[in-house]
A and B are shown apart, each in its own frame.
Chain A
Amino acid sequence: MKTTKILIVDDELIMRESLAGWLERDGHSVKTASSGEEALQLFKQSRFDILLVDIKMEGMSGLELLSFVREMDTDTAIVMITAYGSITSAIEAMKKGAFDYLLKPFDPNELGVLIEKIIDNQAQAKENLYLKEQCKDRDRFESMIGQSRVMQEIFDLIQSVSETDSTILITGETGTGKGLAAKAIHTNSQRKDGPFVGVNCGAIPEHLMESELFGYQKGAFTDAKATKKGRLELADKGTLFLDEIGEISMRMQIDLLRVLEDHMFYRVGGVQAIEADFRVIAATNRNLEEAIKAGIFREDLYYRLNIISFKMPSLRERKEDIPLLADHFLHRFAQEMNKPITRITREAMDEMMLYEWPGNIRELENAIERSVVVAKTEKILPQDLPIFRPEYICVEPKTNSLKEIEKTHILGILQKNEWNIAKVSKILEIDRSTLYNKMKKYKIQKPS
């Protein structure tokens, strides 16, 4: 299991620091922010698993931060920290999607139990998603489609490394098809008749990881009714694919290093050393050199893995492949859903070419899937695409009166943001009193 990333948001230094210290000693990776604004900034740069947010802060309130984060990301668990007097806002936060709240000061056990519960929940969700994606991926070498030069280079590389039996490290952003590259190496290698066994190191909770990898002997623990082979053993004569290796815990790193050195291990509760013959391919979207510097990844393990390494290009780096990929996905989904959709309009394709695709091919695939679901004609239109567009698309106004445009604009932003004055004044870059004055002037009223 990976280290949990926690962001503490509190405008009181002493609260931030003391809580951060406690959580760090507990083994988590912790960052702090002194305001909602700063938190949002940090959140845009990197994802966090858990946000601990003080409800009452100067500037952006905890509740406002909650709504902003919820809009961007639904996986992050948000825990509100509240004083005795503001229970009602904590309850409101729960309705708005907070995971839970803590009444300060709180008992350390309460905090520990809550963090553990969140980690278990998230691990479960991730594992389910991984299994689902693995099923989906079964015969999808198609994502490896590409005529771009960078992809041609990748194909050549896969061909040549397949001939060796060395450990391989594949890097690259999420959704770039690292798993598919690993499978391609396996099927082109001498081990192709052996098994390809995948392990998602980021998804399996730490307490299950050991028995997942090494297996267990009957009676090793209460639930061990029969001896079970671990994934290392199952990968014998084949390829072991360690996905999201950058998320593996320090203790698992210690075990893995030993296994990679001699390919020998013990089942949990077992006394007999087991030997397995497998080739290791590891993948990560994390910068492992940075992880080493941060002290969360072992340097010796890194050198063990990084014998041959290559990076899967992001979709941004191979935009010329977008039309080919998009068409391919379109035909598949149209067929699967039995919809007579035959093409993507030029306008829609233009939008796809302009978009940055942070989620890469997987995001493109999901976007096409969704657009096939919602499309009402035989072609995909720009509005069918679930692409995030800049909030203010310049539409031809119905009137040329500046006053009318201003009124419509303010009203639109208010409606979009549930009449949250603080948020709207921030978006409009005017202060609250100016906003109130304008609302009065244009007779804009919240519908009751």
Chain B
Amino acid sequence: MKILSLTDVDLFIPILTYVYGEAELGGKSAILSTYRLKEELPPQNRDEVYLFRLIKESLHELGHTFNLRHCRDSKCLMHYARNIRDVDNKTDNLCRYCKILLEDEIKKL
């Protein structure tokens, strides 16, 4: 079982000014902050875009708990978003490499 916590406060780790979330690599728990996901929402479809961001970044953090690391493919869920535009640019899918790596991890369970 994996646990994902959501919070609306901004998160940081002692040495970095902020993080979107944190997760135990190959572990059980992850946390995601919605704080920065509210940046630059388009007025026409605020809720829709916000929800899509939330889904993608939640899946990203959960991906880490399945031992997935960051991916170079900017369309892949496991891509590290440097800013909110990177988040919007992602799809809600894994690239073919990350898919295989996830399958490997699931097989190990």
- From B14, B70, B83, residue with most partner A Cβ within 10 Å: B14
Stretch at the interface among B17-25, B37-45, B50-58: B17-25
Distance between Cα atoms of A104 and B101 in the complex (Å)? 34
Distance between Cα atoms of A339 and B69 in the complex (Å)? 55
Q: A25-B64, A250-B97, A254-B97 are in contact. Are A108 and B17 (CB under 8 A)?
A: yes
Distance between Cα atoms of A106 and B67 in the complex (Å)? 25
- From B12, B16, B22, B72, residue with most partner A Cβ within 10 Å: B16
Q: A112-B82, A250-B101, A254-B97 are in contact. Are A26 and B69 (CB under 8 A)?
A: yes
Nearest CB in chain B: distance from A353 CB, A? 46
Is residue B6 within 8 Å, beta carbon to beta carbon, of the partner chain?
no
Query: Which B residues are CB-close (under 8 A) to A81?
Result: 15
Contact of A109 among B13, B64, B82 (CB under 8 A): B82
Q: Mark A204-226, 1 if CB is under 8 A from B, else 0.
A: 00110000000000000000000
Contact of A207 among B69, B72, B97 (CB under 8 A): B72
Q: Flag if A106 contacts B16 (CB, 8 Å).
A: yes
Distance between Cα atoms of A249 and B12 in the complex (Å)? 29
Q: Flag if B72 contacts A206 (CB, 8 Å).
A: yes
Is residue A111 within 8 Å, beta carbon to beta carbon, of the partner chain?
yes
Stretch at the interface among A16-24, A174-182, A238-246: A16-24
Q: A25-B69, A25-B70, A250-B97 are in contact. Are A107 and B64 (CB under 8 A)?
A: no
Q: A21-B22, A24-B25 are in contact. Are A104 and B72 (CB under 8 A)?
A: no
Which chain A residues in 100-126 approach chain B with CB under 8 Å? Answer: 104-109, 111-112
Q: Flag if A18 contacts B97 (CB, 8 Å).
A: no
Whose C-beta in chain B lies nearest to the C-beta of A16? B15
Contact of B18 among A108, A206, A207, A254 (CB under 8 A): A108
Query: Which B residues are CB-close (under 8 A) to A22?
Result: 13, 16, 19
Contact of B25 among A12, A19, A25, A254 (CB under 8 A): A25
Q: A25-B64, A250-B101 are in contact. Are A105 and B70 (CB under 8 A)?
A: no
Nearest CB in chain A: distance from B93 CB, A? 16
Distance between Cα atoms of A26 and B60 in the complex (Å)? 12
Contact of A105 among B14, B83, B97, B100 (CB under 8 A): B14
Q: Flag if A112 contacts B16 (CB, 8 Å).
A: no
Q: Flag if B72 contacts A19 (CB, 8 Å).
A: no
Distance between Cα atoms of A95 and B68 in the complex (Å)? 38
Inter-chain contact total with CB atoms closer than 8 Å? 61
Q: Flag if B12 contacts A105 (CB, 8 Å).
A: yes
Query: Which A residues are CB-close (under 8 A) to B82?
Result: 108-109, 112
Q: Flag if A254 contacts B100 (CB, 8 Å).
A: yes
Contact of B15 among A25, A104, A251, A295 (CB under 8 A): A104
Is residue A97 within 8 Å, beta carbon to beta carbon, of the partner chain?
no
Q: Flag if A15 contacts B97 (CB, 8 Å).
A: no
- From A24, A26, A111, residue with most partner B Cβ within 10 Å: A24
Is residue A27 within 8 Å, beta carbon to beta carbon, of the partner chain?
yes
Contact of A26 among B17, B70, B101 (CB under 8 A): B70
Q: Flag if B80 contacts A112 (CB, 8 Å).
A: yes
Distance between Cα atoms of A108 and B18 in the complex (Å)? 7
Distance between Cα atoms of A287 and B58 in the complex (Å)? 36
Distance between Cα atoms of A17 and B50 in the complex (Å)? 31
Q: Mark A313-346, 1 if CB is under 8 A from B, else 0.
A: 0000000000000000000000000000000000
Query: Which B residues are CB-close (under 8 A) to A111?
Result: 16
Q: A27-B70, A207-B72 are in contact. Are A21 and B25 (CB under 8 A)?
A: yes
Q: Flag if A105 contacts B16 (CB, 8 Å).
A: yes
Distance between Cα atoms of A251 and B18 in the complex (Å)? 29
Whose C-beta in chain B lies nearest to the C-beta of A3? B69
Query: Which A residues are CB-close (under 8 A) to B23?
Result: 25
Query: Which A residues are CB-close (under 8 A) to B18?
Result: 107-108
Query: Which A residues are CB-close (under 8 A) to B15?
Result: 15, 18-19, 81, 104-106
Contact of A27 among B22, B69, B100 (CB under 8 A): B69
Is residue A393 within 8 Å, beta carbon to beta carbon, of the partner chain?
no
Distance between Cα atoms of A107 and B82 in the complex (Å)? 10
B residues sitting closer than 8 Å to A (CB atoms) are: 12-19, 22-23, 25, 64, 67, 69-70, 72, 80, 82-83, 97, 100-101
A and B contact pairs by CB, cutoff 8 A, 10 listed? A18-B13, A22-B16, A25-B23, A25-B70, A26-B69, A105-B14, A107-B16, A107-B17, A111-B16, A250-B97
Given contacts A21-B22, A22-B13, A26-B80, 14 further A-B contacts (CB under 8 A): A14-B14, A18-B15, A19-B16, A24-B25, A24-B69, A25-B25, A25-B70, A27-B70, A104-B15, A105-B16, A106-B16, A107-B18, A109-B83, A112-B82
